[in-house]
Amino acid sequence: MSPSKLILAPLALSALISNAFAQTAAPVATPASVPVAVTSTIPLKISGRVDVGLRSAIPSDLSKETTSSEAVDEGSNARLNFSGSSNINDDLSSFFMLEMRFFADTGATASTDPLFKDKAWVGLASKKYGEVKLGRLHSPQYAVSTAGRYEAFVGDSYASNGTRGALAANQWNNAVYYTSPTANGFNAGLTFSKGEKTAANGIGAHLAYNDGPASAALGLQQEQDKWDTTTQKTMDTISMGAYYDFGIVRVGATYARSSNANITGTGAQAVTTFGVRIPYGPGEIRASLRTIDESSRKSATDASSDQDSLRIGLGYAWMLDATTGVHFSLVRDNQKRFNANGSEKSDRTGEGAEVSLRKTF
């Protein structure tokens, strides 16, 4: 992607601001000696989720241990969201969003997490010219092409696919994201992230389609290498997702592949998911499959950190009302680990289960 295309984002922001001045009536002149009171009329919206249950979980690395352990744990990460918007004129509006994540079973946050881990942005939206957001933003992969809407469990619950993306980061700091207006179901976006210290700059784009029962998205991004964090070195990720709702069943799939990773640029990871959502009774039957294919994580000649896995999830979302649900999960995970020379080190399988109570507000 040519760096010159990044000019579109600041130009779009300038166009939105110019549009606001053009369409807003000139203010009445006020003598300098008379103070002008400024008040905020932006309505504040508070929303979030708490999701806790009983879990029998298998270890993340089955090559070391396959025995499950029981705990009271989160079905999905709790969140607290603050957002608001206001109209500047008939075309232009401003908005902001802040969202923190925490562990509902303890009330704590991870010690290394920023306060607003998931979202921290401000922006302008124009019906004519599109939208510009600035701050800590979702990357094209996480926000668009492998978003939870393409996954059977909407990205949450123990039976979900877990990660749907490859090595690409979910959030980008110091970022600007321009999204075009939607026309005939299509919209497109460009984003740029300014790296700090040893982090390389990020650049990305997306193309998305949403119309009726069909949705599809494609994302491209280049960012700091997740497997080589000591230098300003980039890796590339392509990602895509789609679903079609037949009414009696919704079928969805995602694919993401990161390449040019690790110190020699030879590492890659590909993640593929497939899932279905079937309305049944007061909720949905959900089923998913995820595969991970990882190669040369450390270097071209050392595969000791590689893994291949196949994860199958089966569950049911029993909705007690519009904001309260009981979520059942069954999981079967197969993992293959390798020696440095690429030969198979282990091939093990484990099962887990969970029931959780989720409340959104």
User: What one-character DSSP code corresponds to residue 43?
Assistant: P
Residue 20's pLDDT band, with cuts at 50, 70 and 90, is: very low
**pLDDT for 180:** 98
**pLDDT for 40:** 52
Looking at the domain assignment, is residue 39 inside a domain?
no
CATH number of domain containing 186: 2.40.160.10
Give the mean pLDDT of 176-198: 96
3-state secondary structure 187-214: EEEEEEECCCCCCCCEEEEEEEEEECCE
Looking at the domain assignment, is residue 24 inside a domain?
no
Distance CA 80, CA 78 (A): 7
The tens digit of pLDDT for each residue in 141-156 reads: 999 999 999 999 998 9
Looking at the domain assignment, is residue 27 inside a domain?
no
The pairing of strands 283-295 and 267-280 is antiparallel
Looking at the domain assignment, is residue 20 inside a domain?
no
Looking at the domain assignment, is residue 270 inside a domain?
yes
What are the structure tokens assigned to 320, written together?
């007690």
Looking at the domain assignment, is residue 175 inside a domain?
yes
Which residues face 268 on adjacent strands?
Answer: 295
Average pLDDT taken over every residue of the chain: 89
Distance CA 220, CA 242 (A): 15
Q: Is the dihedral of CA 223, 229, 230, 236 positive or negative?
A: negative
User: What one-character DSSP code corresponds to residue 165?
Assistant: S
201: pLDDT strictly greater than 50:
yes
Amino acid residing at 94? S
Total number of domains in the chain:
1
* Three-point CA angle 201, 272, 209, nearest 5°: 70
28: pLDDT strictly greater than 50:
no
SS3 344: strand
Contacts of residue 79, Cβ cutoff 8 Å, sequence gap at least 6: 48, 49, 99, 100, 101, 102, 118
Looking at the domain assignment, is residue 242 inside a domain?
yes
Residue 18's pLDDT band, with cuts at 50, 70 and 90, is: low
What residue numbers bound the domain in which 206 lies? 6-12+46-360
The tens digit of pLDDT for each residue in 298-350 reads: 888 888 888 899 999 999 999 999 999 999 999 999 999 999 988 999 999 99
Looking at the domain assignment, is residue 29 inside a domain?
no
